Structure 1
Amino acid sequence: MSDWEEEYSATEIQQPKKTQAGTPWVPQGRQRYSTQGTIEETHRGSGSRAQGWQGRGGWSHRPDESSWRDVEQPREHRANSSSGWTREFRSRDYSRDPTNCPMSFRLDSSLIGMVIGRGGSKIKELEELSGARIKIVKEDNDSEVKIFGSNEQQDKAKGLINGIIERQQKGTDFEYKNNRSNDPPNMGTSVSVSGKPMIDWTSLRENKEKYEAIKWADMPPIAKAFYKESPTITSWAQVEVKKWRKENNNIICDDLKEDGKRPIPNPVQNFQDAFYPFPEVMSALKIAGFEKPTPIQSQAWPIILQGIDLIGIAQTGTGKTLAYLLPGFIHLDLQPIPRNQRDGPGMLVLAPTRELALQVQAECSKYKYKGFESMCVYGGGDRKSQINVVTKGVDIIIATPGRLHDLQMNNFVNLRSITYLVLDEADRMLDMGFEPQIMKILIDIRPDRQTVMTSATWPDGVRRLSKSYLKDPMMVYVGTLDLAAVNTVQQQVLVIPEEEKRAFTLHFIDSLKPDDKVIIFVGKKLIADDLSSDFSLQGIPVQCLHGNREQCDREQALDDFKKGKVRILVATDLASRGLDVHDVTHVFNFDFPRNIEEYVHRVGRTGRAGRTGESITLVTRKDWRVSAELINILERANQEVPPELMEMAGRYEEFKKKKDGERDMVPRKGRWRNDH
């Protein structure tokens, strides 16, 4: 910090001295001249660095003078100043001042609206009256209020807020008038009572179930339990059940109901054990050519057919789609209200990407169970045609959250009739920021529905999501909840300089056999275009898949790759979820993904449906932060760990220890520790 910055870092800035008669002293800092010929200096304050030019030391010049605030002298004094110039400073950001700690207290969220006012008008009035700066961090039940400023300003702002709370508890609305005096407002001078009734948010929260029952009182009942356990499964000894689960990829089951644990149903060993009362399902499975259920299907079907909500965690390519589709067909068919008397669709599948949604629809259409009509609603498709189909009536909707919320808000689709809901790849939907749309979609879906959530990983966000959207679920996970790649894929990791990646990729393509099929994953859309163009110029047939391509081009790229017209697909992580191409032999990670979960999903694009596959991953020095996690994945799958990767992980660990040590050192003058 320069000498001038230290001199002017105090809260109150004194009138500058004049070096010559009639000439103001100019500090050796950053400055600019206004159109009136006055010197205007910017001060470290609450302005965002992104709002103007940013120089060294945190200075920001912003041309919008109306947003600046005078903290030095009253407005009238500035207007009549005889010096012929004015100095204006931004309002001080006390949150950056270690000498003035903010006053902090908790407040019920139902009262926050009265403090803020419409458009923030009341909180601005409070700041003008007190001279303090007020920050509110909203939370679910209660919120945190922080007041920045001097002790006198903080006490005055707290008193004003207390006055608001007292009047709110009396059931009256009010608003502050413009009062420039230093005295706190009172009912007689600065507060006007409008007499409007207040909303009792506490009462609403306490009676949530009552109001929910009123909202859905006119809806028909739901039938959920359709499972008839075969005598063979009923007579199965528990010792044999545990042994079977252990031998089939270590299936683990848990009941998440807080009170009164329920018995976990025994898994089924074949399709007959699960669907013998439903011959149409048996015929569809026979036509599809499946031999026996996968581990996740064996345990999920008995649970879902009993009408219990389910969380299914399994590695990619293990049959999770069929695990929820077949019970969904039976659920729709056996509802008390016939199909022709329902007001809308009965089954909804939410998927994070267009490719996964289209793939689920393809699986749904393959079985043609009792003529159920399904449609896919996704962004990038023809919105008008989607509206035409959904308004005519369908039984099953497979959708991405964004487009479905669009149709929902415009009253093109009725979701009140949904009784069977699936959240497919829930962790990916959280990564893509779909949670707000999902919450708005679920407002129109009855709370007594049956819900199935699937995922390949089990991060904290998905655990929180499951508590919000599922009711007393059971959880089935195949293998382990720890992150692990599929064991049918041989993983190879190569530590390589960044500039050698393209040459190695060409060498890899030259070594492919005629029947090999590979997905090359890159980190950016620009790299995908550049790499695919480079291959095309060299006469290598290739397709490209990323989010910036038109939907028709994306569908054409996938179709060419699936049918074998091209055997190389260059793609971003858009293709890491839900892309089901059974004959992919290789996954080539040109760029390492942004997190280790995406690495697992990429690897899962090969080695599917009982086949084996191979993944090649290029790691550079910039990827050293994920080296330790990658080593854990490799060791868990009994894969070879390169010595260079071990050295990289060791260097990163030493780097972190060094940074942690520097953070604990005594701060220099003008700086303070992060925990202040």
Structure 2
Amino acid sequence: MSDWEDEYDERGVAVTRPPGVGTGARAAPTFPSGVPREVVCFGGGAPRGKPSRDRPQWRDRRDGDAGLDGAAVRGDSRDGGRWRGEGRVFGVDGDGSGSRRPVSLRVENALIGRIIGRGGGKIRELEESSGARIKINRGEYEGDLLIFGSSDVQQKAQTMIEELISGGSSVSWPQNDSESPGVKSTSCWSRTALQSSAGPTSTPIDWNALRENREKYETMKWQDLPALKKDFYIEAESVARRSAEEVRIWRKENNNVFVDDLREEGKRPVPNPVYTFEEAFVDFPEIMENIVRVGFQKPTPIQSQAWPVVLSGLDLIGIAQTGTGKTLAYLLPGFIHMDQQPVPRDQRGGPGMLVLTPTRELALQIEAECNKYRYKNFKSICVYGGGDRRAQIKMVTSGVDIVIATPGRLNDLQMNELINLRSITYLVLDEADRMLDMGFEPQIMKIILDIRRDRQTIMTSATWPTGVRRLAKSYLKDPMMVYVGTLDLAAVGTVQQTVLCVQEEEKKAYIFDFIHNMEPQDKVLIFVGKKIVADDLSSDLCLRGIAVQSLHGDREQRDREEALQDFKDGRVRILVATDLASRGLDVHDITHVVNYDFPRNIEEYVHRVGRTGRAGRSGTSVTLVTRGDWKMAAELIHILERAGQEVPEELVLMAERYEKHRREKDMFPTKPRGGGRGGGAQRGRDRFRDDCNWRF
């Protein structure tokens, strides 16, 4: 038994011993005048003793048992008849009478900050008003508030604390000894008094009942929302007169437009496509004024078929290649949807339209489109990470109609209750496949759950992977699907694709030669795989006197915006970028896309190539392939063949060699054999290197 255990009993109470009794010659501790021997010292340990790790009521200072000012409480110093911690006095009342055991309140960590106040101001006010001394011990999820003083002082402090955190059920009392054997309650009140003060005991959540009554609770959640109107489509006579054969021929001639009703029962008639802007928006003159001002001649195929579906109030899944006008396909019907709602704009309490996008650049681009087609003075805001959060909060809280946001920043504003999503009636998930690739699905789910169920939802994507199908099934209600071309992955047909097989060390020399032979009207977007490569390549070009900008995720937001604007305005004709620019970058006059590094998957290759050949223009892509990219050769050949492009013989040979290597690896897996530690693995690497060591 240690010295400490010899001087105190199992409850932490000092043991009175006759002189000379003990394990050593040291005498029993002497308490200050007026302090009872059963005083409990919380925090760092017993007076002048070694803390025991076997006693639940004693804690080591290293356990983080600190007071408000961050100092661990110690009971080994005396001053003026009081036991002191560091910076805070405990033990006896201010009138010199003996102190009672502290009353303990258990509070959730989320509410402790409300009690403490900024800089500890509220806790000091509580102590001054009640005359008590309060200590806070934080745990992982909850904290204990220890109130020292007389019974009246403790009662007063407890009442003030409960009033401070009123409205929640976060205060609980320690259990009695009979309920938790081995744990001594620190409260001086009886069990009956404690239970009556704590209120009704919380019952466990019945998750099965919640799941079974999900529809009931969701109906209760949204029952107080105002009515919603979604159908605004008035079919023109010229559209209604079109025969099924005429519509079939038009869809085939316009890049094989296909429409499918995804409702499982009771298929609905598919609206006929519109051939002109007037057929879609003849009843909305302000929309027509915007279109005439911009100078568009006719709708794109995705717009011609999507507008009748969306204006009819149906959910839509739009699948089309990049640069085919998907943004305008949902934006113009969204303006009409917000304007025609029965609730006036000033009474909705929040925005009416939300567009979720994967990247900041795409969000800024959509905001520019909103401003270009301004309608009914709708106010839009772009919310994205990296921007001025305070300015975004100010604009959101001042009142907006359209929010274009990245999921991360919007989820931040939503969790802090800075934006009202219950007013959203028109939701757009733009580039849904890219948002899933970037890992935004949890944030998207949190956001969507706070938006009314009877909203109208539009989802756009360039591809149709499994993740997008799952998202569509979960959050769209009986949608129609419109896709242009095919659901199989395919590159834009207006781009000439060239593939060159080179050595890794030859790539930079090729880029220098390519730029040297550029025409004055050429504008080139160079894609690299890593941020450091983007900086390295752009620096080398600058040292050669070539005007260039770089775009990647490590640059400040203002620098990214400046780089993109310089490229759009033509102040620089070369932009070196990571896959950050593969989606949402809408620069119509890009003539060449150069894949300096092959992308990590074939989908990104298709999106990179889609940055050129936009809005009816033609373009050229050049892809540099090295021996390290041989596993992608077969998929690249498939894309080239679908687009009718020439397939280099070296690329075919690369794909054959990789397939042979893969089969051999499956048949003869490498196993460690003699030759010392790691010898088998080394031989496997040597075999792989030898198999790769062939020239193009």
Report what 1:518 is aligned to: 524
Q: How big is the shift at 1:197?
A: 3.3
Q: How does 1:363-442 map to 2 (within 5 A)?
A: 363-442=369-448
> For 1:612, which of 612, 618, 630 is the aligned residue?
618
Of residues 322-331 and 454-463 in structure 1, the stretch that sits farther from structure 2 once superposed is: 454-463
Q: Distance in 2 between matches of 1:480 and 1:663?
A: 39
> For 1:361, which of 356, 367, 372 is the aligned residue?
367
Report what 2:546 is aligned to: 540
Q: How big is the shift at 1:198?
A: 3.2
SS at 1:499 equivalent: helix
Q: In the alignment, does 2:635 pair up with 1:657?
A: no
Report what 1:131 is aligned to: none
SS at 2:372 equivalent: helix
Q: In the alignment, does 2:332 pair up with 1:326?
A: yes
> For 1:444, which of 439, 447, 450 is the aligned residue?
450
Q: Distance in 2 between matches of 1:462 and 1:224?
A: 24
Q: How big is the shift at 1:413?
A: 0.8
**Superposed CA offset, 1:178-236 (max 9, x none):** 9xxxxxxxxxxxxxxx9963322222112111100100111101100000110111110
Report what 2:593 is aligned to: 587
Amino acid at match of 1:209: E
The alignment's TM-score, normalised by the length of structure 1, stands at 0.70
Larger radius of gyration between Structure 1 and Structure 2: 2
Q: Distance in 1 between matches of 2:542 and 2:643?
A: 36
Report what 2:210 is aligned to: 204
Q: Distance in 1 between matches of 2:282 and 2:659?
A: 56
Structure 1 consecutive aligned stretches of length 4 or more whose deviation exceeds 6 Å: 175-178, 664-668
Amino acid at match of 2:260: D
Report what 2:245 is aligned to: 239
**Superposed CA offset, 1:30-61 (max 9, x none):** xxxxxxxxxxxxxxxxxxxxxxxxxxxxxxxx
Q: Distance in 1 between matches of 2:312 and 2:503?
A: 55
The alignment's TM-score, normalised by the length of structure 2, stands at 0.68
Q: Distance in 1 between matches of 2:549 and 2:442?
A: 34
> For 1:458, which of 461, 464, 467 is the aligned residue?
464
Q: In the alignment, does 2:640 pair up with 1:634?
A: yes
SS at 1:622 equivalent: helix
Segments of structure 2 that go 5 or more residues without pairing to the other structure are 1-138, 142-178, 183-199, 675-696
Q: How big is the shift at 1:410?
A: 1.0
Q: Distance in 1 between matches of 2:447 and 2:517?
A: 49
Q: In the alignment, does 2:627 pair up with 1:621?
A: yes
Report what 1:143 is aligned to: none
Report what 2:486 is aligned to: 480
Report what 1:292 is aligned to: 298
Question: CA 1:337–1:196 in structure 2 vs 1: closer, same or farther (change >3 Å)?
Answer: closer
Q: How does 1:43-442 map to 2 (within 5 A)?
A: 197-442=203-448
Question: CA 1:198–1:617 in structure 2 vs 1: closer, same or farther (change >3 Å)?
Answer: same
Amino acid at match of 1:201: W
Q: How big is the shift at 1:654?
A: 1.1
Q: Distance in 2 between matches of 1:666 and 1:493?
A: 39
SS at 2:233 equivalent: coil
Report what 1:56 is aligned to: none
SS at 1:365 equivalent: helix
Amino acid at match of 2:398: K
**Superposed CA offset, 1:289-336 (max 9, x none):** 000000000000000001100000000000000000000000000001
**Superposed CA offset, 1:476-502 (max 9, x none):** 110000000000000000011101000
Q: Distance in 1 between matches of 2:391 and 2:649?
A: 56
Q: How big is the shift at 1:665?
A: 11
> For 2:535, which of 529, 534, 548 is the aligned residue?
529
Q: How big is the shift at 1:659?
A: 2.0
Q: How big is the shift at 1:356?
A: 0.1
Q: Distance in 2 between matches of 1:426 and 1:329?
A: 21
Segments of structure 1 that go 5 or more residues without pairing to the other structure are 1-117, 121-174, 179-193, 669-676
SS at 1:258 equivalent: coil
Amino acid at match of 1:467: K
SS at 1:566 equivalent: coil
Q: Distance in 2 between matches of 1:310 and 1:655?
A: 44
Q: How big is the shift at 1:663?
A: 5.3
Q: In the alignment, does 2:608 pair up with 1:602?
A: yes
Give the aligned length: 485
Q: Distance in 2 between matches of 1:650 and 1:416?
A: 56
Q: How big is the shift at 1:354?
A: 0.3
Q: Distance in 2 between matches of 1:233 and 1:416?
A: 36
Question: CA 1:503–1:301 in structure 2 vs 1: closer, same or farther (change >3 Å)?
Answer: same
Q: Distance in 2 between matches of 1:438 and 1:567?
A: 36
> For 1:562, which of 537, 544, 568 is the aligned residue?
568
User: Over aligned residues, Cα RMSD in angstroms?
Assistant: 2.3
Report what 1:573 is aligned to: 579
Q: How big is the shift at 1:119?
A: 8.7
Amino acid at match of 1:388: K
Amino acid at match of 1:439: M
SS at 1:476 equivalent: strand
Q: How big is the shift at 1:658?
A: 1.4
Amino acid at match of 1:420: Y
Question: CA 1:530–1:262 in structure 2 vs 1: closer, same or farther (change >3 Å)?
Answer: same
Q: Distance in 2 between matches of 1:233 and 1:664?
A: 66
SS at 1:593 equivalent: coil
Amino acid at match of 2:505: E
